[in-house]
Amino acid sequence: MFRIGNVTGSPRRRRSLAASIAVLGICATTVACGTSDASGSDSPEWGTEWSSAERLSSTAELDGPSPVALSIPFAPSPVAATDGRNHLTFEVHVTNTAAVPLVVQRVQIDSADGADGVLANYEGASVAANMNLVGDNATPTDRLQPAQLGVFFVDVALDEATPVPDGVQATVSVRAQGTPPPDQPIPGLAGMVDESGGPVPATLDTSVTIPVFDGTVPVIGPPLRGDGWAAMEGCCADNTHHRRGVWSVDGRLLNFERYAIDFLGVDREGYAYRGDNTKENYVGYRADVVAVADAEVVSVLDGQEENVIGEPQPERNLTEATGNHIVLDLGNGVYAFYGHFVPGSIAVKEGDRAEKGAMLGQLGNSGQSTAPHLHFHLMDNTNPALAESVPFEFDAFDLAGHATLDDVTYLPTPEPRTDEMPLSQTVIDFAGE
């Protein structure tokens, strides 16, 4: 166990590096960036290293332009989850640089050195199911018009016996729909149409490789107390608004909710509320929200009214969407975000020190919210709209069951868990009342 400030870190079993990999840099793209020596630091600076992993150098001979430009803008990091596996969760940005429409036929994820074989393979319907166009997070697609950018969402789940690779390689296979103009040739595409102009099965592959983040995932305390918390809209493979939340902010594409969880209180019969569908009847309404670690309060927003359930909501900007909220500085470039507090319930102010387990405020229904819940995630910036979402694990909880929007299924006996992240649609119990 590795301690960062008062936030512990959980190391993962890894295969040793076959060659030196520089972690510091500025991007992971099909065009190599300059390398930088990341050695000499016992504790990683989270805010820097999470968002600036260097792509591995390539020795491949280049025949000419590629039909797609690939990038992995945020380095994956293994996080232990409630399914007993380590998850590598990241996005591959795919831009069509050809002058003709392209169909993505396959996306294959391998370990960077090839030692572990294929880690994940997406073909057929699974390609479209895991890709959206930028600006349209709800519509699946496997087709890219010229100059269009698609975001492919990857979740590699490794069982405990499988070592975490030092790096991952994403290979995207595309097929052209049409013939490139003579003045914009791309080797391989010219032979991908038949004499009548129709497509043929041939594909062209492009790959990008990035190191897996070799720091440790923050292990934190619970943000809530007591039993019956459904972890909704969470990581990793589900098509949720958090996981698919890639937005252009301040000129950059960011995913600031990649690992975010919406905690919804449920009772032992699986009900989120009893009686009329009003906020006061929700199981979790006005529950105490607590600090996950000793931390400094760096941002507080209060004063937003709560929504009336079932009534239209006003337009909100990015700051207002999360309602009344708090940001805690956990140290080493990691920040905890809590959203949707009851107005007037926030018990801290900017500059305060909050001890682990201290009451911060009460769970509410302010901001862009359709029912009382706590939005929680870790990030690498004090401003949630300018951050990348950082993985985390809770130090202790009980896995109580699983939930959908329609039903909750409880285990016969809750299972004690340590140093894990609850996956989406799990029900967990925290200590305390």
What pLDDT digit, counting tens, does each position of 81-121 carry?
999 999 999 999 999 988 889 999 999 999 988 777 899 99
At residue 202, the pLDDT reads 56
Query: What total number of domains does the chain contain?
Result: 2
Say whether both 339 and 374 belong to one domain: yes
226's tokens: 């007591």
What tens digit of pLDDT does each residue of 346-385 get?
999 999 999 999 999 999 999 989 999 999 999 999 998 8
Q: What is the mean pLDDT of the chain?
A: 82
Whether cis (ω within 30° of 0) applies to the bond prior to 236 is: yes
Say whether both 356 and 338 belong to one domain: yes
Q: Which of 211, 236, 252 is the last residue of a domain?
A: 211
Say whether both 193 and 51 belong to one domain: yes
**CATH number for 243:** 2.70.70.10
Q: Which of 153, 181, 211 is the last residue of a domain?
A: 211
What tens digit of pLDDT does each residue of 287-327 get?
999 999 999 999 999 999 999 999 988 888 878 888 999 99
At residue 204, the pLDDT reads 79
Say whether both 116 and 40 belong to one domain: yes
Q: How far is CA 427 from the centre of its chain?
A: 20
Measured at the alpha carbon of residue 98, what is the angle toward residues 95 and 101, in degrees to the nearest 5?
85
State the Cα–Cα distance between residues 263 and 145, nearest whole angstrom.
Answer: 38
**pLDDT band at residue 183, thresholds of 50, 70 and 90?**
low
Say whether both 249 and 316 belong to one domain: yes
Say whether both 133 and 165 belong to one domain: yes
Q: Which of 193, 211, 229 is the last residue of a domain?
A: 211
Contact by Cβ (8 Å): 379, 326: no
Q: Which of 109-123, 156-170, 186-200, 332-346 has the lowest mean pLDDT?
A: 186-200
Q: What is the mean pLDDT of residues 238-267?
A: 87
Say whether both 158 and 258 belong to one domain: no
Kindly tell me if the per-residue pLDDT of 37 is higher than 60.
Answer: no
- Domain holding 330, by residue range, is 217-429
Contact by Cβ (8 Å): 231, 263: yes
In the block, residue with structure tokens 């975000």: 337
Contact by Cβ (8 Å): 328, 355: no
Say whether both 168 and 19 belong to one domain: yes
Say whether both 80 and 147 belong to one domain: yes
Q: Coil, strand, or helix at residue 142?
A: coil
Say whether both 193 and 226 belong to one domain: no
At residue 143, the pLDDT reads 95
In the block, residue with structure tokens 């996950």: 292
Say whether both 233 and 331 belong to one domain: yes
Residue 224: C-alpha distances to residues 55, 196, 236, 378, 380 (Å): 38, 63, 21, 15, 22
Q: What is the mean pLDDT of residues 179-191?
A: 62
Contact by Cβ (8 Å): 114, 105: no
Say whether both 406 and 373 belong to one domain: yes
